[in-house]
Amino acid sequence: MLKKIINRIKWTYYDLVIFFVKKRKVGKKSKHFFLINTNSTHELNRALTFYEKEPEMIEWIDSLLKYKIKNDFVFWDIGANIGIYTLYIAKKYNEAKVFSFEPESNNFSALCNNILLNNFNNVYPFMVGLSNITGYDNLHISVMSPGAGAASIAIPYKYTISPTIFKQGIYISKADDIIKNKIFPIPNFIKIDVDGHERKILSGSHDLFAREELLAIMLELEYVDSNDLNIVISEMNKFGFNLSKVSNWKDLANDLIVQNFLFERMI
């Protein structure tokens, strides 16, 4: 009960803040800070929790040059939302090319406006959902607010009690198709955060994962138990990737476990 009260107070406070403050500096602990628009409570929450929410993500991004690669690497942000990590990479590595995939319309609009706000010319946003097929599908949206992220391809969003309030038609593609057609350059790094859709993305990325240019993947994965997890780890091993780091945080959602996993190409 106390936790619910505290949470309600927090979001009420956010409602008040966004009435007066429409932009926020993010990443102020480093010289690579950037700005985001804070027109919704969810956007403000992402700004305020930048360092605390997924610290291993920041640590990994800060260490990308350890792979002995030049500054002009290619990064794919799959499930970019409003672009928190996209923007940080673009600011920290200004010669890098960041391709950001976000199919949800509210988030995509916010992502584009945040890119414009920072005058970044090294970010390429695409309103596309990656999956295991190429074609069209529906995105089930539970919360129509930028930064919320409460959406799922083909099926209702699982992590809230809110029902689907809107179905948005989207274009989806296998990663293998877009590299086969040379629409996008081969990424050196990939971040995948898609709230349960990750296995379909992995299924459509076999050719991509076999490319030696791809050095590391940060994957947010939901799994049932250790046996289920080991299936994914085994698949990644087949493509030449070792599991090198697991997030300390662990969320539970509908009897599923959710964590971040860093896979690095075997040397």
What would the two tokens of residue 123 be?
């970010």
Answer whether residue 4 shows pLDDT above 90.
no
Q: How far apart are CA 118 and CA 115, in angstroms?
A: 5
Residue with tokens 């955060």: 193
| 219 beta partners | 192, 261
Q: Across residues 258-263, what is the average pLDDT?
A: 97
Q: What kind of architecture, by CATH, is found in domain 2-127+185-265?
A: 3-Layer(aba) Sandwich (3.40)
CA separation for the pair 192, 202 (Å, rounded): 10
What pLDDT is recorded for position 63?
Answer: 96
Contact by Cβ (8 Å): 79, 192: yes
Where b means 16+ CB within 10 Å and e means fewer, 200-230 reads bbbebbeebbebeebbbbbbbbbbeeeeebe
pLDDT given for residue 177 in this prediction: 97
pLDDT at 77: 98
- Supply the pLDDT for residue 95: 97
Q: What is the pLDDT of residue 123?
A: 98
DSSP lists the bridge partners of residue 192 as 78, 219
pLDDT > 90 in the chain, percent:
81
User: Which parts of 132-213 fold into alpha helices (H)?
Assistant: 175-180, 198-203, 206-209
pLDDT in tens, 32-87: 899 999 999 999 999 999 999 999 999 999 999 999 998 999 999 999 999 999 99
Q: In the numeric block, which tokens belong to residue 40?
A: 């919704």
Summarised one tens digit per residue, pLDDT across range 167-179 is 999 999 999 999 9
Structural domain boundaries of the chain?
A: 2-127+185-265
Q: What pLDDT shows up at residue 58? A: 97
- pLDDT mean over 160-188: 93
Mean pLDDT of the chain: 94
pLDDT of residue 110 exceeding 80: yes
Average pLDDT (183-193) is 96
- Condensed to tens digits (0 to 9), the pLDDT of residues 191-243 reads 999 988 999 999 999 999 999 999 999 999 999 999 999 999 999 999 999 99
Q: What's this model's pTM, rounded to 2 decimal places?
A: 0.95
